[in-house]
C-alpha cells in the first residue's frame, strides 16, 4: 500500500537552531515528491519538487534532498516566521494526477 510518513510530528527549535524534517515513502512508480508549507487556516504553499534520487533544491533557509526511500527538508538557522506545518506529498505514475500527502511536521521556532 502506498504510504507517506513524516517525522517528527512536531519540532520545537530555538531561532538559529538548524534541523531536518524527514519524509519516508513507499510508492510504486514515483512521479515526483513535493514539499509544501501550510500556515493555520490556509492552503498548502508550494516549496519544492524533486524527481530523482540525489536531487537537491534550495530556497532561502530551506534545502530539500531525495533518496530512493526518503526525503529530507533541512532548515538552516530558522527564524520565527518559518513556524508552520511542512507537508510532504508524492505523485504516482497512475496516468492521472493523484498526489498522496503525509500528515506533516508542525515546526515551532522560538525567538
Partner 1 sequence: EPEVTQTPSHQVTQMGQEVILRCVPISNHLYFYWYRQILGQKVEFLVSFYNNEISEKSEIFDDQFSVERPDGSNFTLKIRSTKLEDSAMYFCASSGDPTGAYGYTFGSGTRLTVV
Binding site for partner 1 (CB under 8 A): 31-32, 34, 36, 41-49, 87, 89, 91, 94-104
> Which of 45, 65, 111 lies closest to 75, judged by CA?
65
CA-to-CA distance for 82 and 62, rounded, in angstroms? 10
**Residue 32 region by backbone torsions, left for phi larger than 0, else alpha for psi between -120 and 50, else beta:** left
Counts of helices then strands in the chain (DSSP H, E) = 0, 11
In b/e form, how buried is each residue of 39-50, taking b as 16+ CB within 10 angstroms?
eeeeebeebbeb
Closer Cβ to partner 1, 4 or 109, answer by number: 4
CB of 69 to partner 1, least distance (A): 20
**Nearer Cβ to partner 1, position 14 or 43?**
43
Instruction: Compare residues 17 and 55 and give the one whose CB is closer to partner 1.
Output: 55
Closer CB to partner 1, residue 53 or residue 77?
Answer: 53
Q: How far is the CB of 35 from partner 1 (least distance, A)?
A: 9
In the complex, what is the shortest distance from the CB of residue 111 to partner 1, in angstroms, rounded to a whole number? Answer: 27
CB of 67 to partner 1, least distance (A): 19
Amino acid at each position: 500500500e502506498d504510504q507517506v510518513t513524516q517525522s517528527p510530528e512536531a519540532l520545537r527549535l530555538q531561532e538559529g537552531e538548524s534541523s531536518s524534517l524527514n519524509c519516508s515513502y513507499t510508492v510504486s512508480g514515483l512521479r515526483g515528491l513535493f514539499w509544501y508549507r501550510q500556515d493555520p487556516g490556509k492552503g498548502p504553499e508550494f516549496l519544492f519538487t524533486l524527481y530523482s534520487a540525489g536531487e537537491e533544491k534550495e530556497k532561502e533557509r530551506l534545502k530539500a534532498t531525495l533518496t530512493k526511500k526518503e526525503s529530507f527538508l533541512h532548515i538552516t538557522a530558522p527564524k520565527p516566521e518559518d513556524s508552520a506545518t511542512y507537508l510532504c506529498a508524492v505523485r504516482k505514475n497512475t496516468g492521472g494526477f493523484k498526489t498522496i500527502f503525509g500528515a506533516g511536521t508542525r515546526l515551532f521556532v522560538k525567538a
